[in-house]
Structure 1
Amino acid sequence: MTDTRTDALDILRTLVGRDDADFHEGQFEAIETLVDQRRRALVVQRTGWGKSAVYFVATLLLRRQGAGPTILVSPLLALMRDQVAAAARAGVRAVSINSSNPHEWAEVRQQLQNDEVDVLLVSPERLNNPKFRDEQLPALLERVGLLVVDEAHCISDWGHDFRPDYRRLRDLIAQMPDGVPVLATTATANSRVVTDVAAQLDSAATGSATDTSAGADTSAAVVTIRGPLARASLRLGVLRLPDSRTRLAWLLSHIDELPGSGIVYTLTVSAAEDTARLLREAGHPVRAYTGQTDTAEREESEGMLKRNEVKALVATSALGMGFDKPDLGFVLHLGAPSSPVAYYQQVGRAGRATENADVLLLPGVEDQDIWQYFATSSMPSKNKAEAVIAALTAHGGAPLSTPALEARVDLKRSPLELLLKVLDVDGAVRRVTGGWVATGEPWFYDQERYERIAAARVAEQQSMIEYETTTGCRMEFLQRALDDDTAVACGRCDNCTAAWFPAEVRPDMASAAAQSLDRVGVALEPRAQWPTGVASLGVNVRGNIPVDERLLAGRALARLTDLGWGGPLRDLFAAQATDAPASKAMIAACIRVLAEWGWEERPAAVVSLPSRRHPVLVDSVARALSDAGRLPWLGSLDLVGTGPTGAPGGNSAYRLSNVWDRFSVGPDLAQALAPFAGRPILLVDDIAGSRWTLTVAGRLLRRQGVAAVLPFALALTS
């Protein structure tokens, strides 16, 4: 053995705590590429293969040679926590700088100055934090010993909307001194993504990346070490059930039969929360885990799953890359991810250190609608991008904060922040202290690129449908979807043998699921502050909304994304749906919402909002609630002119300006309201998104002498 291999093997055995441990095929080759050859490597290996061992062992070997610390770009807090813990077990001094530990940043900086850090973990966004980028990164790059890019598929177009900051790593690599090795790792990449990532690692590469399985090609700039992606421990299956109620009933019937503890994936936040609630009510120890879950609660939930203190985490894709529980017993999906690549990445959490783990997909009829929403919502718009650049340019070089930009560009906060990152990576804007500035660099909308991304997503979605319906081996299908030439039938999945899972649903569980899905009523929170900068749009308000002009807390029948009433409401508000009275079942559900409301004072009358798209629907609901509650229906507010301008959605500033002064209390309604001065009114609308329509209408009613306005909507958009 070479000295490098001997030393590397000693470190590996310390890392795993076994004197007989040895490298998996490809592990030492990757380490040798980094340490002895000081080259750039892309490692594409299945989850559980040991990619982290490569960079920890390489780090210690390079440090022994006098190299500086490793910079490890890691995308998720959960992943960072696991990586820091794993590093400590290997004797690697690892620290992180991320949004959850600002109280530790000063200490980390001092440790770096003292050369007491072997690995610094940062998020891709941290690389563009003005203070870190301008004050700390240059000195760090001068002495960096190794750059590691974890979950490197995010560099590719496939992941452009997940973390656009990954695309700036190409520029970061170009700034590093010559001879500094670079390692990119991922478990989820097909050939297109591999080629794209390799090109990003070295834009000067003249040859194709090397695949060591076919022999080394030392003329290539990037060495690709790619292994088979088959997971012998996983037993795959697909169970097609007619609706969400039946899927939940199946889960209630059989969750205790699934081995050990695991993850139940859903496609939306509300589905995760609804499913977790249903399971808890049935006595199953589970927790919801989504992007909206508090950071401390997420960390606590991860620990509980690792210690087998819960049967499952019911999670969105927020629990994914890098979550490390080697004995995870099952992964179950309520609804399919939009591509086999994403599906393989998520099921790869299971069975990493066990002989058997169960993976079951329960696809939903609504899956494709959800895929389409997420695929289109993240695509940057040429008009919006040009508007952002124009707004920053017009500000004369002074930075504009994101909230200030919202009053100049009609985009909600999240898509605006995403678009700013994309423009930043493209060089058109730059993040500085105090906000964003235009760089003045020419920018063009890369329509070909976005069309290519959209086409790739459509193809991936179709491939996922084919996975659901294939009669061939499911593991082989996933491997081929990831361009793994070693793919062969697994002999374990439901198609290779027979369905290993029961299909029946217990009647009592079906009843419990139906009862849970029939739950009605979600909070409709009132607005308390006017949007920042709305005065620039001609609405002369600012700060807090006066208490005597606010709505009280309201209710909606359900969210559009809910598993229960969300489905009928989505059908009701679909673009092609015709305006019609609410069904008897929906009216009965609305009446139940009012019965369970718990208001301090019962409303004295009902007023409705005029709807341009659903006048018949709103009228039917308002009159039905009036009849059921024996409350007089006083009529509707009037539209001013043609009513609200612009399209639904948009950010708060623009949405408020679109509805401001577009409603009035007409003479007939004013006369009807007079006897109810000083009493509460129920205000009925069809759908609430930004809540500014209800806020403006409620303000008009309060100014008319109404003591309180209780808003009710059929649906919340989120």
Structure 2
Amino acid sequence: MTDSGKAELRTTADAVLARLVGDETGSARLREDQWRAIEALVADKRRALVVQRTGWGKSAVYFVATALLREHGAGPTVIVSPLLALMRNQVEAAARAGIHARTINSSNPEEWQTIQAEVAAGAVDVLLVSPERLNNPDFRDNVLPELAAATGLLVVDEAHCISDWGHDFRPDYRRLRTMLADLPPGVPVLATTATANARVTADVAEQLGTGTGSDALVLRGPLDRESLSLGVVQLPDAAHRLAWLADHLGDLPGSGIIYTLTVAAAEEVTAFLRQCGHTVVSYTGRTENAERQQAEEALLANRVKALVATSALGMGFDKPDLGFVVHLGSPSSPIAYYQQVGRAGRGVEHAEVLLLPGREDEAIWAYFASVAFPPENMVRRTLDVLARADRPLSLPALEPLVELNRTRLETMLKVLDVDGAVHRVKGGWIATGAPWSYDTDRYAWVAKQRATEQQAMRDYAGTTGCRMEFLRRQLDDEQAEPCGRCDNCAGARFTAEVSAGALESAGGSLARAGVVVEPRRMWPTGLPAVGVDLKGRIPSGEQAAPGRALGRLSDIGWGNRLRPLLSPQTPDAPVPDDVANAVVTVLSDWAKGPGGWASGAPDAVARPIGVITVPSRARPQLIESLGTRISAIGRIPLLGSLAYTDHCDALSMPRSNSAQRLRALSGALAVPPSLQEALDAADGPVLLVDDLTESGWTLAVAARLLLRAGAKGVLPLVLAVRS
């Protein structure tokens, strides 16, 4: 294209930008780097990788490029994005510029056929696709090839997700390699991300073919945002952190986000802040899609002071005037942290960013690290099972045959699919028989980098230097320099002081004990395949009743007390007094609560007539002493304990999914004669006491055994639930 042609193209591009941002005066102008990217895509048909801070305007690049390409007869733009929230925002933004955008994702399956027909008819300018669609057999085999042949521009949004060096690796993104290979010559490709250090950038560039050897344009800008004021508030415990939020939330500018590391913590914080009169809403992976949209809209309209969110509210939320981001607990990666705080201050002069680290953070980091890519023996086991199968195996059919839970198994299979070792077809997964090697060095190096990033977050919390400079250097920003705004550069704007009233209220909230333990009602699928003859619904006469736990290991109240107590590294010992007393409080609240035996309700459960403990090899003193204390304080007899059989050796082996756990439990527990005699004489339900429930299957099997032995009901009582 000639220079005059490019000048005319630039004028048209600025006009599209003005419509996109709603500038009726037409004075909006693209930044130079935005124009360089658009010029590369539209005029030169090149590939480009854009690494720019959140709010820089990456979406403007692909929407303006789309308008220009469509004007010259190109096919629709395909945007691959993991962000449902961003998809909703971008469909609306595109419409302002006269661009017809549609989206295919998990929230609108009823529209897929209609949208695909619109694309085929040329009525769609932009199609936003979730990465999960790329691995759907029907979409991959029937829709994707036609899209690849017809698309005028491929955009890979949040491209760091391609890299397992990044903080948000998603194996579905690896399918993009296939789409890239099928693109006709001369179709431009744009990859964008706001949070990638040099290692992630190089990996993404290599995987997308946007590396230096591909004549691609790589635009990497400075990551500073002058509106952000970073700070850390060190507080002694969870009660002080909750009290600090109660006291200071109203002092933070505008509305914002409070991030927590777990769903349980988000729910705890939300309940407490509401109790204190703050208008907040929780937003987690358990939040229904409709409720998520309502929460997003409430924050966008400033009808709430904050969303209390997990990383489920991540990259895709776009609110230019977001006034603050507070982290109650530290993310494990400075890249992930900077990505989340980048939600704030995009359209305002000043936004507060505060980190309130907690002692439970590292236990949570360790848990998430434990569910990384499985070791080689587990991968080989899965490949062997698929190779021997005479038909495709679905995830429910495959799960009982391997020692991986559903989520981890699916993630592993997606990686193996891209590597060519397995293939997803209608009905499930098949082995291809292609050679495959376990990349031990890469997985070990990734684990090492994770440990380095965790240390970086510890260093960030404790640094006396500029915090913004620290984060920018972690992201390999060569222009990093002291910001002059953070608490270390300009002085702390918030102290660690909390009011006595808020601290008392927070302490009371966190000390509130008691979590309902819902019983298992259905046996997992596939048990006959592992030799356990159980399936379907558990008969009501063989189910435990809803039980109680003192707390969750993932919460910031009792979780902080129970995690060290139940750690494998903690020696077995009698139950501590404070824990035993709290369990008694749980029992009292249970008895007086709705449906409790002391509630007086007509449908209330009967008062338990005895205590039975679950045997434990790891913590026998803890469980036996807990049963004894409950018996003495509740003035109900200790009937005894279930016993292990000769088939219980499998219990010492880790079981990471329901079917494998049940196979290990099958025939492993028995009712000894002395306990049977007590049950024969009993006329009421029993309390079944254990230390920890993770999957719920030990309680389910023990309850079934006791009910079949004549118990009139089983009420589980445990110290903790895993999550």
Select which of 355, 368, 371 maps to 2:362: 368
Q: How far off is 1:407 after superposition? A: 1.4
Select which of 521, 526, 544 maps to 1:533: 526
1:442 is aligned to 2:435: yes
SS of 1:407's equivalent? Answer: helix
Aligned pairs (5 A) from 1:58-69: 58-69=65-76
Letter in 1 for 2:81: S
1:676 is aligned to 2:676: no
SS of 2:32's equivalent? Answer: coil
Select which of 308, 313, 326 maps to 1:332: 326
- Residue 665 of structure 1 is matched in structure 2 by 671
SS of 2:240's equivalent? Answer: helix
1:645 is aligned to 2:638: no
| Counterparts of 1:116 and 1:394, CA distance in 2 | 46
Select which of 694, 703, 706 maps to 2:699: 694
- Residue 292 of structure 1 is matched in structure 2 by 286
Q: How far off is 1:202 after superposition? A: 1.0
Deviations 1:236-279 (A, max 9, x none): 10111111111111111111101110000111111111111111
- Residue 640 of structure 2 is matched in structure 1 by 635
User: Does the CA contact (< 8 Å) of 1:644 and 1:659 recur in 2?
Assistant: no
Q: How far off is 1:627 after superposition? A: 1.4
SS of 2:231's equivalent? Answer: strand
1:267 is aligned to 2:253: no
1:624 is aligned to 2:629: yes
TM-score, normalising length: structure 1: 0.96
Select which of 387, 396, 399 maps to 2:381: 387
User: Does the CA contact (< 8 Å) of 1:638 and 1:665 recur in 2?
Assistant: yes
User: Does the CA contact (< 8 Å) of 2:162 and 2:169 recur in 1?
Assistant: no
| Counterparts of 1:489 and 1:610, CA distance in 2 | 58
Aligned pairs (5 A) from 1:602-617: 602-617=607-622
- Residue 174 of structure 1 is matched in structure 2 by 181
Letter in 1 for 2:648: G
Letter in 1 for 2:257: I
- Residue 309 of structure 1 is matched in structure 2 by 303
Aligned pairs (5 A) from 1:492-507: 492-507=485-500
1:199 is aligned to 2:206: yes
User: Does the CA contact (< 8 Å) of 1:291 and 1:318 recur in 2?
Assistant: yes
- Residue 561 of structure 1 is matched in structure 2 by 554
| Counterparts of 1:400 and 1:112, CA distance in 2 | 33
- Residue 183 of structure 1 is matched in structure 2 by 190
Aligned pairs (5 A) from 1:176-255: 176-202=183-209, 207=212, 220-255=214-249
Cα RMSD (Å) = 1.3
Q: How far off is 1:701 after superposition? A: 1.0
- Residue 214 of structure 1 is matched in structure 2 by none
Deviations 1:636-659 (A, max 9, x none): 111112635143441111101101
Deviations 1:611-647 (A, max 9, x none): 1111111111111111122111111111112635143
Q: How far off is 1:159 after superposition? A: 3.5
| Counterparts of 2:419 and 2:234, CA distance in 1 | 43
- Residue 3 of structure 2 is matched in structure 1 by none
User: Does the CA contact (< 8 Å) of 2:84 and 2:316 recur in 1?
Assistant: no
- Residue 601 of structure 2 is matched in structure 1 by none
User: Does the CA contact (< 8 Å) of 1:161 and 1:378 recur in 2?
Assistant: no
- Residue 217 of structure 1 is matched in structure 2 by none
1:519 is aligned to 2:512: yes
| Counterparts of 1:460 and 1:164, CA distance in 2 | 21
SS of 1:162's equivalent? Answer: coil
User: Does the CA contact (< 8 Å) of 2:614 and 2:690 recur in 1?
Assistant: yes
User: Does the CA contact (< 8 Å) of 2:254 and 2:305 recur in 1?
Assistant: yes
| Counterparts of 2:120 and 2:532, CA distance in 1 | 52
Q: How far off is 1:328 after superposition? A: 0.1
SS of 1:645's equivalent? Answer: helix
1:412 is aligned to 2:412: no
1:544 is aligned to 2:537: yes
| Counterparts of 1:689 and 1:322, CA distance in 2 | 32
User: Does the CA contact (< 8 Å) of 2:145 and 2:179 recur in 1?
Assistant: no
Select which of 371, 381, 396 maps to 1:403: 396
| Counterparts of 1:236 and 1:161, CA distance in 2 | 23
Letter in 2 for 1:670: Q
TM-score, normalising length: structure 2: 0.95
- Residue 432 of structure 1 is matched in structure 2 by 425
User: Does the CA contact (< 8 Å) of 1:557 and 1:713 recur in 2?
Assistant: yes
| Counterparts of 1:623 and 1:192, CA distance in 2 | 57
| Counterparts of 1:83 and 1:389, CA distance in 2 | 40
Q: How far off is 1:160 after superposition? A: 7.9
- Identity level (%): 57
Structure 2 stretches lacking a partner, 5+ long: 1-5, 597-603
Letter in 1 for 2:277: G
User: Does the CA contact (< 8 Å) of 2:551 and 2:721 recur in 1?
Assistant: yes
Letter in 2 for 1:9: D
User: Does the CA contact (< 8 Å) of 1:198 and 1:222 recur in 2?
Assistant: no
- Residue 23 of structure 1 is matched in structure 2 by 30
| Counterparts of 2:236 and 2:473, CA distance in 1 | 29
Aligned pairs (5 A) from 1:103-114: 103-114=110-121
Letter in 2 for 1:20: S
Q: How far off is 1:346 after superposition? A: 0.5
Letter in 2 for 1:686: D
| Counterparts of 1:254 and 1:649, CA distance in 2 | 44
- The 3 A distance-change label for structure 1 pair 197 and 37 is same
| Counterparts of 2:528 and 2:316, CA distance in 1 | 45
User: Does the CA contact (< 8 Å) of 2:149 and 2:182 recur in 1?
Assistant: no
User: Does the CA contact (< 8 Å) of 1:289 and 1:301 recur in 2?
Assistant: yes
Aligned pairs (5 A) from 1:441-460: 441-460=434-453
- Residue 211 of structure 1 is matched in structure 2 by none
Q: How far off is 1:25 after superposition? A: 3.0
SS of 2:583's equivalent? Answer: helix
Q: How far off is 1:579 after superposition? A: 0.8
- The 3 A distance-change label for structure 1 pair 482 and 159 is closer
SS of 2:94's equivalent? Answer: helix
Moved over 4 A (4+): none
| Counterparts of 2:167 and 2:480, CA distance in 1 | 28
User: Does the CA contact (< 8 Å) of 1:34 and 1:182 recur in 2?
Assistant: yes
User: Does the CA contact (< 8 Å) of 1:385 and 1:423 recur in 2?
Assistant: no
Letter in 2 for 1:141: A
| Counterparts of 1:236 and 1:650, CA distance in 2 | 40
| Counterparts of 1:365 and 1:707, CA distance in 2 | 43
1:587 is aligned to 2:580: yes
User: Does the CA contact (< 8 Å) of 1:201 and 1:222 recur in 2?
Assistant: no
Q: How far off is 1:293 after superposition? A: 1.1
SS of 1:535's equivalent? Answer: helix
1:488 is aligned to 2:481: yes
- Residue 139 of structure 2 is matched in structure 1 by 132
Q: How far off is 1:368 after superposition? A: 2.0
Deviations 1:516-567 (A, max 9, x none): 1001111111111112111122211211111111111111111111111111
- The 3 A distance-change label for structure 1 pair 372 and 475 is same
| Counterparts of 1:66 and 1:225, CA distance in 2 | 27
Select which of 155, 158, 163 maps to 1:151: 158
1:258 is aligned to 2:252: yes
1:655 is aligned to 2:677: no
Deviations 1:154-175 (A, max 9, x none): 1112238631111221222111
